[in-house]
Structure 1
Amino acid sequence: MGYHPLSVLAPIKNNLTSVTEFFLLGFQGSQGFRIFLFFLLLVVYILTLCGNLLIIVLVSTSRSLHTPMYFFISQLSISDIVLSTDIVPKMLNNLLSNGGTITYVGCITQLCFFGTSETSECCLLTVMSYDRYVAICNPLRYSSIITSAYCVKLSTICWFLSLFAIFINKLTTSFLTFCGSNIIDHFFCDLVPLLDIATSGTFIPESEIYILSPFLLIVPIIIITISYIKIIAIILRIPSSINRQKAFSTCSSHLVVVSIFYCTMLSVYLLPTRKYPKLSKILSLLYTVFTPFINPIIYSLRNREIMKALHETVQRHLNL
Structure 2
Amino acid sequence: MADGSSPLEVVVSKVLGEATVAATPIEPAATASFETSSPRGQTILLQTLFSIVWSYQLLFSDKPYLSQEHQHWVILGLLILVAGLIVMPPRLTEANWIPGALLVGNTVISAGLIFLSGNSGMDIYLTFFLVMLIAALAKSIKEVIGFSSVLASAYGAVLYMDYLHTHVISEGLILRLPMLLIMAVFYGVNVERVRTINREKAGLIDYIAELKQTHAEKELLIQELQAALANVKMLSGLLPICSHCKSVRDDKGYWQTVESFIRTHGDVDFSHSICPRCLQKHFPA
Q: How high is the TM-score relative to the length of structure 1? A: 0.30
Q: Which has the higher helix share?
A: 1
Q: How high is the TM-score relative to the length of structure 2? A: 0.33
